[in-house]
Structure 1
Amino acid sequence: MDVEIVGKFLSTLPEDDDHPYRTGPWRPQTTEWRADDLIAVQGEIPADLDGIYLRNTENPLHPALKFYHPFDGDGMLHIVGFRDGKAFYRNRFVRTDGFEAEQEAGGSLWPGLAEPLNVAQVDYGWGARTLMKDASSTDVVVHRGNALTSFYQCGDLYRVDPYSGQTHGKETFNGSFPTPWGVSAHPKVDDRTGEMLFFNYSKQAPYLHYGVVNAAGDLAHYVDVPLPGPRLPHDMAFTRNYAILNDFPIFWDPELLERGLHLPRYHRDMPSRFAVIPRLGTTAQIQWFEADPTYVLHFTNAYEDGDEIVLDGFYQGDPDPADDPTGTKWQRTFRFLALDRMQTRLHRWRLNLKTGACTEEPLSDTISEFGMINAAHSGEPYRYAYAATGKPGWFLFDGLVRHDVQTGNEERISFGDGVYGSETAMAPRVGSSAEDDGYLVTLTTDMNDDASYCLVFDAARIADGPVCKLQLPERISSGTHSTWVAGSELRRWRETDDAAAAVGL
């Protein structure tokens, strides 16, 4: 393995830190690496695996102003690229405005998710002391050859080179970016049309927007989605002809919000609602559907079936888990992050566009979340979803489950004690035709070896274990959202690229 340190940053976190989401598997990194010719410590890199896996991570360098939440850390992108039986690795901080400002200041300037806004040390530009730092640390997608990182509380999209990890400023949509509302995490790229669908939300009316960026990078569509007040949507879905947004009964307490306090509450007597809008439809064309109260962090897919839209996602059986006095103080504080406490299970809703009826059913009894599919089947009928299982009581992924949504069959694998994975992307084999003909790619944090690895599984036989295991230069922090982009797609957007040529891609 050819390894080079390309960046080193000073951390001001305390040496005796005991925060579980800044230590152990969540220990932040301060080093940026370039590693070529990754070594397979198990198996061989498949010669028909061609593309790049990208994963975003919250990675703090400074103590919180008052109380750190694991969603507060700066964005760090991890990149593993494959071609012709070779692989490379890069990791880079996303150079957001907030990251640069705090580097210059030598400490935190903005409040985090669990902190009052009045502790802010800086004005952010949209009104004094009103916003969190846009860390661009939640999600990553690839559109038009560029990786775009995003933040769950809405903000800018940062353009990152998917080969080198270098930040190339903010996405502008050719001058039509929806400032000041920004874009939320989880925009959806439709490989069939080249479009990117997105939403944003706000504490001021209009509380929700939906937009479409076309294949040329222009903001082609942008409309209001009427809501009765501020909401906290986290994901969306789409079909060939429609987009699906949501209004779930977890949102900031209105009375506390008037006093500047951001405390979400679960309103058990309110229904879940889904908004269905034609892909380029108007506000007047939105059709609303009511369902059982819950909260859904992530959807796996949606598609059309006659008059119905089939929508699959992870239903929370207990969106507001009670405090458990038997747990540690940290488990009690962060019980809203543990999959077993929220009881997240794969679920299906059917939205009948003709009758207006909504029916729903569970698809699995297995606790899982962060599901990924073969992106070629996004918005279309599909069969397989690959999801993470969680360590009880903690925000850590301890294994994989392959859901067959047609038969209900499941195949599971554990990473083993002390080993934690990432959101696992599906990488179709070059020339594949079957939905599951390909590989699963994930990154692990192995506390036993004090190391990290990239694992590659056969998507059709995950129980066989990894077909190859590649060692990374350093044990990386645990993290969540990821994406896969085919090498052929990237090369279509860049005929000449020094970073690509340097690693043989």
Structure 2
Amino acid sequence: MPTRHQNSTSHLLSSGYRPVTEEVTVLSPPVRGELPSELDGTFLRIGPNALGGHDPARHHSFRGDAMVHGLRLRGGRAEWYRNRWVRTDRAARALGELPTPGPRHGASDNTNAGLVRHAGRTLALADGGALPTRLGERLETLDRVDFDGTLPGGFSAHPVLDPLTQEMHAVAYAPGRPGVDLLTLDASGRVRRRENITVKGTPMMHAFSLTDRHALLYDLPVTYSGRAAAAGSDVPYAWDDGHGARLGVLPRDGGDADVRWAELAPCYVFHPVNAYEQGRYTVVDVIRHERVFDRDPLHPSESSPTLWRWIVDRSGATVAEHPLSEAVQEFPRIDDRYAGSPYRYAFTVGLRPGRGAALAGPALLRHDLVTGRADRHDFGPGREGGEAVFVPRHGAAPEADGWLLSLVHDTATGRGELVVLDTADFTGPPLATVPLPVRVPHGLHAQWTAGG
């Protein structure tokens, strides 16, 4: 089992974590090496970047005004880099701009946690009741959306796209709302189905998993804390030993009465890897934290996250749990063409042991889940990269054959650069890098949007 440790937040004060204070545009940044001409699209990364300062000793790590970073790649060139604050109500006021149009649900519109491209829209996302924010091709904030009036509440930071149907699935929760909403959006971007699912209390259900037949719900012991809310926390959730942990399995077309719950050892999952069916079993791979937001209510820092597999016996509603890797890691990605189906490869960010709440690390890991082999790409001394995105070499390429893109912070220069790896030479030097004349602080999640 991963061991608990007392985390120091000193690394959160380093240049890689400090917010930037300006929006910048860099046209035609140079390229070292050779960018594949097939990479035609925009690499995006989002995360909290506080307007007015952020103190890791006093402020929650999920707090901070949403900022998106992007690099447009086309024809073997980098056309531009931009960073832009998402125009939340607070950011628009601070920047002296008019409010962003669109409906409002919930207390917050700070969509700083995730990104998705669906039905022709690029959306910035968050949990806890916030509506998605639509972004333009140059990262400008366009409006808040409720999917043409079909979304009854907030949305999710981690929806799952079905690569076969092009539908988008999500689990939404909000403080004070009973249960969680299991949502299905059709390929045109409208909610076609909503099922309210009963859970114990009000858990932070940050993510879920999806197979071609079932949805997997994580009812885990991080729950709404009235005490934290009364103290003014922007993220009023805390570890609850009395809540327990369980995994809910329900058919994709099922409802609340169809959920079968199976008990788990207490833990928390921010980021599943993938899930798929195997006869009467459902295989669920996750990045597992033994405990979060207990002794350290501001940062997910109390245990070392590792890669685990849960095998669910649906006939008896039981789960067999075992680790797949002892390496400390987070921010998993796969070849998205295999989402919800049997797969072989997973990519993760290798973190430094003892550094809880880390958003980046010195290496990327590639796990072969058939052989158990793990390969490592080191970024080099003083360099740390964040979540990578995978882009297949072409539509019919074998699984995980293509390129990995990650934003890297170099402590020697204090600047950022986009690193492009060829998975055919994963442990070798980058195929190309795009050095930037500015610092790009570590963020949360990355996304690749093909084309213009």
- TM-score bracket, normalised by the shorter chain, equals 0.7 to 0.9
Residue 91 of structure 2 aligns to a residue whose secondary structure is helix
Cα offsets for 1:189-237 (capped at 9, x unmatched) = 2232111111221332423111111111111011111012111111111
From 230, 240, 265, give the equivalent of 1:292.
265
Map 1:348-367 → 2, pairs under 5 A? 348-367=309-328
* CA contact 2:72–2:78 (8 Å) conserved in 1: yes
Map 1:446-485 → 2, pairs under 5 A? 446-485=410-449
1:52 Cα deviation from its structure 2 partner: 2.4
* CA contact 1:386–1:401 (8 Å) conserved in 2: yes
Q: TM-score normalized by structure 2? A: 0.88
How many Å separate the matches in 1 of 2:419 and 2:200?
45
- 2:290 paired residue number: 317
From 412, 416, 424, give the equivalent of 2:388.
424
From 108, 112, 117, give the equivalent of 1:137.
112
Letter aligned with residue 151 of structure 1: A
How many Å separate the matches in 2 of 1:224 and 1:28?
38
- 1:495 paired residue number: none
- 1:147 paired residue number: 122
Letter aligned with residue 79 of structure 1: G
From 33, 58, 70, give the equivalent of 1:67.
58
- 1:44 paired residue number: 34
- 1:78 paired residue number: 69
Q: Give yes or no for the alignment of 1:226 onto 2:226.
A: no
Map 1:26-425 → 2, pairs under 5 A? 26-41=17-32, 43-63=33-53, 67-88=58-79, 89-104=81-96, 131=107, 133-161=108-136, 163-179=137-153, 182-253=154-225, 256=227, 264-268=237-241, 271-319=244-292, 336-338=299-301, 341-391=302-352, 392-394=354-356, 395-398=358-361, 399-425=363-389
How many Å separate the matches in 2 of 1:125 and 1:155?
8
Identity of paired residues, percent?
30
How many Å separate the matches in 1 of 2:379 and 2:331?
16
Are residues 24 and 273 of structure 1, via their aligned partners in 2, closer, same or farther at CA, if it must alter by over 3 Å?
A: same
- Provide structure 1 residue ranges, at least 5 long, that are not aligned to the other structure: 1-17, 106-123, 323-331, 488-499, 501-505
How many Å separate the matches in 2 of 1:458 and 1:137?
29
Residue 115 of structure 2 aligns to a residue whose secondary structure is strand
Letter aligned with residue 211 of structure 2: T
How many Å separate the matches in 2 of 1:178 and 1:473?
43
Letter aligned with residue 172 of structure 2: N
How many Å separate the matches in 2 of 1:77 and 1:285?
39
Residue 25 of structure 1 aligns to a residue whose secondary structure is coil
How many Å separate the matches in 2 of 1:24 and 1:246?
34
How many Å separate the matches in 2 of 1:154 and 1:406?
39
- Provide structure 2 residue ranges, at least 5 long, that are not aligned to the other structure: 1-8, 98-102
Letter aligned with residue 145 of structure 2: E
Are residues 212 and 453 of structure 1, via their aligned partners in 2, closer, same or farther at CA, if it must alter by over 3 Å?
A: same
1:302 Cα deviation from its structure 2 partner: 0.7
Query: Higher helix fraction: Structure 1 or Structure 2?
Result: 1
1:84 Cα deviation from its structure 2 partner: 2.3
Q: TM-score normalized by structure 1? A: 0.79
How many Å separate the matches in 2 of 1:402 and 1:302?
17
Cα offsets for 1:410-445 (capped at 9, x unmatched) = 011222333221111111112442112100001111
How many Å separate the matches in 1 of 2:228 and 2:386?
34
1:253 Cα deviation from its structure 2 partner: 4.7
Are residues 20 and 103 of structure 1, via their aligned partners in 2, closer, same or farther at CA, if it must alter by over 3 Å?
A: farther
Are residues 80 and 259 of structure 1, via their aligned partners in 2, closer, same or farther at CA, if it must alter by over 3 Å?
A: closer
Cα offsets for 1:158-205 (capped at 9, x unmatched) = 0112x31111101221111223xx112111222321111112213324
Letter aligned with residue 140 of structure 2: Q
How many Å separate the matches in 2 of 1:301 and 1:471?
32
* CA contact 1:247–1:273 (8 Å) conserved in 2: yes
* CA contact 1:56–1:76 (8 Å) conserved in 2: yes
Letter aligned with residue 446 of structure 1: D
How many Å separate the matches in 2 of 1:92 and 1:192?
33
How many Å separate the matches in 1 of 2:71 and 2:253?
35
How many Å separate the matches in 1 of 2:62 and 2:265?
28
Count of paired positions: 432
CA RMSD of aligned residues (A): 2.7
